[in-house]
Amino acid sequence: MAADQNRILIIEDEGNIARVLQLELEHEGYAAEIAGDGIDGLARATDEEWDLILLDIMLPGLNGIEVLRRIRRQDEEIPVLLLTARDSIPDKVAGLDQGANDYITKPFEMEEVLARIRANLRYRNASREKNTSRPLRVGDLYLDPKTRQVRRGERKIRLTPREFDLLTYLMRHAGQVLEREQIIQDVWGFDYAGDTNVVDVYIRYLRQKIDKGAPAPLIHTVRGVGYTLREHDG
């Protein structure tokens, strides 16, 4: 699977419709998978990483509106396109209230489905881009992902690319306790089978540059777990 391939989850109990959607989406270069009822659909929607969800409203197990409501409790960003057999105003209103991004009324033209998927993915990618390029601040620590400038107070800090990536990650998750394995996966970008000492090594480098000589440290060790970056310890 290509790394930049968009993943789409189809939650639809009508097998032939789900299958047609899957084939057409795969033909367009998406990775598409099917969940056949509301319960399985909700579990897969929240347990796995998706770029977009096609969600039927009339589903056995748990109806689409309820599935959507529960997805939105966990993820406000993911585009969800509702499929509805009826051109039903109450369904549309309920769907919008629960944070649906778009509607497709059955029977649909595949070209229209594909166009709406493209539009919603474009919008999502644009807003992701905006979020990832915004400057980060924790206490007097400042990091600008665009210019790659880092400052602690007035002091400019020079980081290697890996140190920069690690600090960006810690700042994006400020206040959270991050396990070494998780840091390895997200910063080094692979499932690291070996030991995770490399994280400790890079944390030491960062402490030298960020915290040394500062009135209060920002990087904290959480014994037996990992690390956290926050303004006040405890």
Give the nearer residue to Ca ion in terms of CB position, either 85 or 110: 85
Cis bond before residue 107 (omega within 30° of 0): yes
List, as one string, the DSSP characters of 56-81. ESS-SSS-HHHHHHHHHHH-SSS-EE
Piece in contact with Ca ion (CB under 5 A), picked from 27-35, 37-45, 48-56, 96-104 = 48-56
Give the nearer residue to Ca ion in terms of CB position, either 16 or 147: 16
Name the minimum Å distance from CB 14 to Ca ion: 5
Name the minimum Å distance from CB 22 to Ca ion: 15
Q: Which is nearest to 99 in space by CA: 120, 116, 115, 82?
A: 82
Q: Is 178 in the site for Ca ion (CB under 5 A)?
A: no
Q: Is 13 in the site for Ca ion (CB under 5 A)?
A: yes
Kindly determine how many residues on this chain lie close enough to bind Ca ion according to the rule CB under 5 A: 3
CB 99 within 8 A of CB 78: no
Name the minimum Å distance from CB 15 to Ca ion: 10
Piece in contact with Ca ion (CB under 5 A), picked from 32-40, 50-58, 129-137, 185-193 = 50-58
The token pair that represents 181 in the structure block: 């394995």
**DSSP H or E stretch at residue 10:** strand 7-11
Name the minimum Å distance from CB 214 to Ca ion: 58
Give the nearer residue to Ca ion in terms of CB position, either 13 or 163: 13
Handedness of CA 162, 171, 140, 200 (dihedral sign): negative
> CB neighbours (10 Å) of residue 149?
13
Handedness of CA 204, 206, 211, 216 (dihedral sign): negative
Name the minimum Å distance from CB 56 to Ca ion: 4
- Residue of 58, 82, 117, 218 that binds Ca ion (CB under 5 A): 58
Piece in contact with Ca ion (CB under 5 A), picked from 6-14, 113-121, 144-152, 206-214 = 6-14
Q: Residue 65 corresponds to which amino acid? A: I
- Residue of 9, 53, 54, 56 that binds Ca ion (CB under 5 A): 56
Name the minimum Å distance from CB 79 to Ca ion: 20
| Separation in Å, CA 182 to CA 78, 116, 140, 189, 234 | 22, 34, 26, 10, 22
* Residue ranges in contact with Ca ion by CB under 5 A: 13, 56, 58
